[in-house]
């Protein structure tokens, strides 16, 4: 299973709009995850946000759906700069 982490900045003035759009995005992508996706904000910088998607079986399908949903929900309209997607998986045991 893979896990996706998306981080970006928002305009603090539009935090409410950003939250509504990102929460709709999380709802739209929940079917690709084994656990409910969630939204976090950085402790020392509330304009820095992160989305966490865990337990993704088909990362290619998830990534394509994420790209479509970001456009459909105009998530970029509530963020400042680029959204950054990172993919992680459990490490192999060290022998």
Q: Which stretches within the chain are classed as H helix?
A: 15-29, 59-72
Average pLDDT, the chain: 95
Domain-located, residue 94: no
Domain interval for residue 59: 2-89
Any idea what the CATH number is for the domain that residue 29 is in? 3.30.70.100
What's the domain count of the chain? 1
Q: What is the pLDDT of residues 38-81, one digit of tens each?
A: 999 999 999 999 999 999 999 999 999 999 999 999 998 889 99
Q: Is the pLDDT of residue 94 over 70?
A: no
Residues 5, 95: Cα–Cα separation, whole Å: 28
Domain-located, residue 52: yes
Domain-located, residue 69: yes
Tokens at 45, concatenated: 């910088």
Q: Is the pLDDT of residue 93 over 70?
A: no
Domain-located, residue 76: yes
Domain-located, residue 12: yes
């Amino acid at each position: 299973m893979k896990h996706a982490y998306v981080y970006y900045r928002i305009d603090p003035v539009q935090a409410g709009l950003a939250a509504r759009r990102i929460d709709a995005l999380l709802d739209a992508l929940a079917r690709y995850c084994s656990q409910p996706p969630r939204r976090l904000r950085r402790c020392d910088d509330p304009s820095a946000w992160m989305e966490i998607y865990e337990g993704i079986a088909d990362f290619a399908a998830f990534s394509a759906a994420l790209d479509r949903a970001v456009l459909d929900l105009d998530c970029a309209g509530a963020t400042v700069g680029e959204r950054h997607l990172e993919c992680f998986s459990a490490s192999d045991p060290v022998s």
